[in-house]
Amino acid sequence: MSLKQAFALHQQGRLAEAEAIYLSLIKIQPKQHQIMLLLGALYIQASKFDKAVNCINRSLKLNSDNPQGHCNLGAALEGLDRLESALASLDKAVILKADYPLAWFNRGNVLTKLKRYELAAQSYAQACHFMPDYPEAWMNHGLALQSLRQFDDALLSQERALALRPDYAEALCNKGNTLLDLKRSKDAISCYKEAIALKPDYANAFYNMGNALNSLKRPLEAIEQFQHALTLDPNFVQVYCNLGATYKELHQFEAALTCLQNAISLDPEDADVHFNLLHLYEETKQFEQAIVHIKKLRSLRNEKSLDFEGPQLFIKMRTCDWQDLTQAIEAVRLRVFEDKEPTELLPLLAISDELSFLKQAAAQYTAKNYPSQLSTPLTNLISSYERIAIGYFSSDFNHHAVSILSAELFELHDRSKFEVHVFYLGHAPRDTTAERIAAAVDHFWECRHIDDESLLTLARQYKLSVAVDLNGATAGCRMSVFAMRLAPIQINYLGFPGSVGTDYHDYIIADDYVVPDNLAHGYTEEIMRLPCFQVNDRKRKVSVNTPTRSDLGLSGTAMVYCCFNNTYKISPILFDAWMNILRQVEHGVLWLLGDTPSTQLNLQRCAAKAGIDPQRLVFASRVAYEDYMARYRCADVFLDTFPFNAGTTASDALWMGLPLITYSGHSYASRMAGSLLHAVGLPELIASDIHGYQALAVELSLQPERLQELRRRLIDMRDSCLLFDTPRFTRSLESAYLELIKQLPKY
């Protein structure tokens, strides 16, 4: 037996035989530190890290200034996840031997695990400095730079690794990931294909290919890649997670849930999986289940869990769970003002009308998720065609509030002057509303599976003069394409009632009430003013069959106050006002949308706590649109929400002749209903504050003749008032487009 024999067996991978000889030699030569060091290295190779630490420490007691010993000790401690101790050992190694590439490399690995990416990048750079032909170090240097979002430099490092080793599948895959971060999805896919050609069983490459295909809006192909990755590695948690997210986007909720449950069974502590389950349960209105995952994210408190405050707040609002709501709101405000971190925007409209808060939140959210990126400059700013090309972009060109309001606009556009393009971004198949819009326009483009670059090319091909974003910061939006500049004039309208905080939405459509001059500072967009901000459809379908109050669970003699706004718009302060109204109007009932049992139960509990019989809250289920419209005939007054007013529901109620009471704040969302009341000639129904709002609601219950007169006025003026004069709205909008186009340099 000799050290030479043991070392040869060690190199051949015959670890058990090598170990036996090393142990025998140590018995003979207990102070031979080199044998202990080699045995420690063998134990690292065999993933027996405790034994490795013991051996290497014995070696270092005999020779404390051995840089290799400290380097190996660092590797063993890293294997035990004792990262700070590992870092200390590796620091000692590079102090003893500055030109020690392996120690610098291992040090970079430990720093990466500690998420100290800047120091990791520096450590990898030192490894590359002392060994320029070190492809692993170049690759990991690129990974650290990628974590620092220094994507261009990261790409150079990955390319350096590949220059040294062209068949390095892992570096190809990481190069693809960097290209994906640079929004070069097609180039990324080429890298993944090369990696797979070199290493056909490389599950990670198939996984990343799926992510790239998702970014190109090719979810069905992405699913195929994810499924192939799982055949290679059935325990790949992140594949299940992203496959589930893809199914969710396609509204295949059962398949999504199955994938995410598989993921959570494999790793109950994975924050990404909990986050995706939270959003799945939120979208399917299984709020109790969503809250389970919020609690888990709170306990994890890692990078992903920091994002749970927004969804948590939205779920509490949607279920009217107001316990600790103030703390949840404060957490979101601190996230915006102190941490400068983005959060979901839609819930914020229902918690505050403070313009500075909403503007800053929007700017942070869109800068993080949809940063400005003018890839290629616009040329020939205005179409040379006889007609001016306008593009409307939305994921909601089906039976959705946006299309319920705007459908007739497309039918009334002056097609002799305007070439109208509609870009449908949603995944749902066309319904009758979509077919109606498609029949009214020059081009109806289905873009659900078109990537950003292709969508940009399509839009620019027709030389759009105006691009109208009907999504804003809502689900299904493609602000990433607006960030690349689709048209010389880009407008934020209708989908998101507020500023989206970008520098590439040039205008927001408003009127003098919804955004008066003294509040225009709260918007990054310039104000494009129309007589009334809201478009309407005069062809709303209303059922000819009016249900009786008895059919709807309402008393025939009650004073019926209704509010069919989404429940997340109901605030505790507003609900207290409603209870004060019912306290004074003994025969009054409150008729609300009852989306979920938990929402109903929470509101009934709050009513009881306020001393109001919970039976005086009546809940309406969701029904077909024409039946929903007919229900308004059974109510007496619509009570609006604050600070997020009714929009489509307000015009629905007014169209049906139902008086609406509101009060206004500072934000766009808090002034919508007031604008609509001005547009139907009933500004007297706008209270100055919440106290006036309560007083007006009680007053109308005591004046049935006045209530009837308000109904009559609404019905009589419906065909002539500003709010429902869709031809006038269309001509005003077209005139505004033309004025903006005249101001362009190349007009």
CATH number for 413: 3.40.50.11380
The two tokens of residue 500 are 């989206």
Does the residue 316 lie in any domain? no
- pLDDT, tens digit (0-9, with 9 covering 90-100), for 268-310: 999 889 888 988 988 888 888 888 888 888 787 655 545 666 7
30: pLDDT confidence band, cut at 50, 70 and 90?
confident
Question: pLDDT grade, residue 118 (50/70/90)?
Answer: very high
In this model, does residue 157 exceed pLDDT 60? yes
pLDDT category, 722, cuts 50, 70, 90?
A: very high
Residue 19: inside a domain: yes
Q: In this predicted structure, which of 28-32, 160-164, 183-187, 641-645 has the lowest mean pLDDT?
A: 28-32
Give the side-chain half-sphere CA count within 13 A for 213: 20
Say yes or no to pLDDT of 387 above 70: yes
| Measured distance CA(207)–CA(69) in Å, rounded | 38
Counting the structural domains of the chain, the total is 3
Q: Which residue among 131, 164, 193 closes a domain?
A: 193
In sequence order, which ranges of 29-97 are alpha helices (DSSP H)? 33-45, 49-62, 67-79, 83-96
Per-residue confidence (pLDDT) for residue 385, from 0 to 100: 52
- 398-451, pLDDT tens digit by residue? 988 999 999 999 999 999 999 999 999 998 889 999 999 999 999 999 998 888
Q: How far apart are CA 271 and CA 196, in angstroms?
A: 29
User: Rounded mean pLDDT of 170-191?
Assistant: 94
Q: What is the pLDDT of residue 381?
A: 53
Q: Does residue 490 surpass a pLDDT of 80? A: yes
Check whether 475 has a pLDDT greater than 70: yes
Tens of pLDDT, residues 253-267: 999 999 999 999 999
What tokens does 419 get? 């070439």
List, in order, residues 6 or more apart from 73 with CB less than 8 Å away.
Answer: 40, 53, 56, 57, 60, 86, 89
Residue among 489, 407, 492, 476 at smallest CA distance from 444: 407
How far is the C-alpha of 102 from the C-alpha of 589, rounded, in Å?
A: 76
Per-residue buried b or exposed e for 283-308, using 16+ beta carbons within 10 Å of the residue's own CB:
ebebbeebbebbebbeebeeebbebb
- The answer as to whether 253 is a domain residue is no
The per-residue pLDDT for range 316-356, each reduced to its tens digit, is: 898 999 988 888 888 888 878 876 777 889 989 999 999 99
Same domain for 481 and 589? no
Predicted local confidence at residue 180, as pLDDT:
93
Residue 382 resides in a domain: no
The Cα 119–Cα 90 span in angstroms is 13
**Is the bond leading into 497 cis (omega within 30 degrees of zero)?**
no
Identify whether residues 582 and 509 lie together within a single domain. no
Same domain, 578 and 447: no
Computed over every residue of the chain, the mean pLDDT equals 92
Same structural domain, 557 and 631: yes
Amino acid making up residue 255: A
Instruction: Examine the domain organization and report whether 183 and 47 are in the same domain.
Output: yes
146 touches 178 (CB < 8 A)? yes
Instruction: Assess if residue 45 is contained within a domain.
Output: yes
CATH of the domain at 90: 1.25.40.10
Q: What is the mean pLDDT of residues 673-684?
A: 98
- Beta strand ranges found along 407-484 (DSSP E): 418-424, 443-446, 466-469
Do 501 and 554 have their domain in common?
A: no
Q: How big is the chain, counted in residues? A: 747
Range in 3-12, 272-281, 454-463 the model is least confident about:
3-12
The tens digit of pLDDT for each residue in 552-587 reads 999 999 999 999 999 999 999 999 999 999 999 999
Please indicate, yes or no, whether residues 142 and 21 belong to a single structural domain of this protein. Answer: yes
Which residue, of 193, 217, 246, is where some domain finishes? 193
* 643: amino acid identity, one letter: P
Residues 588 and 715 in one domain: yes
Instruction: Give the model's confidence band at 633: pLDDT under 50 very low, under 70 low, under 90 confident, else very high.
Output: very high
pLDDT reported for residue 375: 62
Q: Are 573 and 651 part of one and the same domain?
A: yes
Q: Give the start-end residues of each E strand in 410-514.
A: 418-424, 443-446, 466-469, 489-492, 507-510
Q: CATH number for the domain including 693?
A: 3.40.50.2000
- Amino acid 382: pLDDT: 56
Q: For residues 77 and 108, is the Cβ–Cβ distance under 8 A?
A: no
pTM: 0.82
Contact 78, 109 (CB under 8 A): yes
Residues 12 and 97 reside in one and the same domain:
yes
pLDDT at residue 34 is higher than 90:
no
- Say whether both 581 and 696 belong to one domain: yes
Between 727 and 25, the more confident residue is 727
Q: Which of 162, 178, 193 is the last residue of a domain?
A: 193
The verdict on 488 and 578 lying in the same domain is: no
Domain span at 583: 550-723
In a domain, 129, yes or no: yes
Task: Compute the distance between CA of residue 345 and CA of residue 310 in angstroms, rounded to an integer.
Answer: 8
Q: Which two tokens stand for residue 177?
A: 């990931």
Residue 732 lies in a domain: no
Percent of the chain, pLDDT > 90? 75
- Using 50, 70 and 90 to split pLDDT, how confident is the model at 747? very low
Does residue 663 sit within a domain? yes
